[in-house]
Amino acid sequence: MASLVNTVYSIRLSSNAKTFNPLQNRRLAAKPSCISFNRRRLVVRATETDTDQVGAKAPDKAPAGSGSSINQILGIKGAKQETDKWKIRVQLTKPVTWPPLIWGVVCGAAASGNFHWTLEDVAKSVVCMLMSGPCLTGYTQTINDWYDREIDAINEPYRPIPSGAISEQEVITQIWVLLLGGLGLAGLLDVWAGHNFPVIFYLAIGGSLLSYIYSAPPLKLKQNGWIGNFALGASYISLPWWAGQALFGTLTPDIIVLTLLYSIAGLGIAIVNDFKSIEGDRQMGLQSLPVAFGSETAKWICVGAIDITQLSVAGYLLGAGKPYYALALLGLIAPQVFFQFKYFLKDPVKYDVKYQASAQPFLILGLLVTALATSH
């Protein structure tokens, strides 16, 4: 028996007996024209082969100790294996990723200086949050999982798409419904705000296009760790802020520049998610920063991008004559650094969820401090 075991994944389509190897059959993920609208299910099976490559047999089920219903609904690892189709649909949208986008809308509204606690303004902001979070972020996450199905077949074969828990047609339908729903809400907000130029609609179009080219060939921005992660960071910080500010006020060039710079911190946040996919990214040729630089270096790039960006913004606020806001931002950076050393720098894979749950609230509070500073 050979001492080295390599895991080979094949996608078995239940509508016929033909078997494909996803690592060889790249056309499945590379060409949208290959998508079939028949009600087929993608089923990933792991088999052992006797080769000279080092590998490990991927589990057919979620890792031991997992199975949380809460994790399943939130769309994070350790999720319960679910058969309810609506729960699976929610899982694909990853609700755990919605709060930063929703908070970005809050920051934009605060930065506008024109938000008032009236029923109409609250209703406008709620619709903008629905557009940014469940609709367009849900679209982004679903399409990302669709184009990552080969990588997930290596890293997490028990996820809904590679495991066959949801069919191709159902995934594609969800992508279109979320996209069109988000664009429809964007157009509604422009009419509601009385815009002569549909700025929110065009922001939604731009963000949706960015999400597509981030995940889909031939550009697939995520293949490059720097460009892909910055694009993701800008989507999570800049775009919802711009939408919120445009809804209640005027989107100015200085705010655009400031939020794009703040998106460098978002780049650091995006890197956190790359550590759990190192093996799959390496096999599929994706140059995420942990693959390109190694885990140790990538850890420090990650925390450096987050901390240096916020320190720079604090310096900007101090120079702009707003020392109290600068001090408040510095006070919010300190606990982030503490949790970086406690969790992330120890083991970015094991503690990624704990780290993000502990440190991210202080980051998004820092965004609000910056927004309030720019409104005064």
pLDDT of residue 61: 52
pLDDT of residue 123: 98
Q: Which amino acid does the sequence have at 13?
A: L
Question: Using CA atoms in the order 338, 342, 343, 347, what is the torsion angle rounded to 10 degrees?
Answer: 130
More confident position, 65 or 218: 218
Segment (H or E) for 11: strand 6-13
Q: Is 376 exposed, middle or buried (0-12, 13-18, 19+ CB in 10 A)?
A: exposed
Average pLDDT over residues 276-301: 88
- The SS3 of residue 75 is coil
- Of 7-21, 288-302, 328-342, least confident by mean pLDDT is 7-21
Quote the tokens at residue 372: 């309030």
Q: Which amino acid does the sequence have at 340?
A: Q
More confident position, 77 or 214: 214
The model's pTM is: 0.77
Q: Which of 62, 135, 66, 124 is nearest to 95 (CA)?
A: 135
Average pLDDT over residues 170-195: 98
Domain residue ranges of the chain, discontinuous segments joined by +: 89-375
Average pLDDT over residues 94-105: 92
pLDDT at 20 over 50: no
pLDDT at 39 over 70: no
CATH topology of domain 89-375: Farnesyl Diphosphate Synthase (1.10.600)
pLDDT of residue 67: 67
Q: Answer yes or no: are the C-beta atoms of 34 and 27 closer than 8 Å.
A: yes
Average pLDDT, the chain: 83
pLDDT at 18 over 50: no
Average pLDDT over residues 216-233: 89
Which ranges constitute the DSSP H helices of the chain? Answer: 27-30, 69-74, 85-93, 98-112, 119-130, 138-147, 149-155, 160-163, 168-193, 199-215, 225-248, 253-272, 278-284, 289-293, 295-319, 323-339, 352-375
Quote the tokens at residue 194: 């009385």
| 156: Cα separation from own chain's centroid | 17
Average pLDDT over residues 30-36: 40
Q: Answer yes or no: are the C-beta atoms of 265 and 233 closer than 8 Å.
A: yes
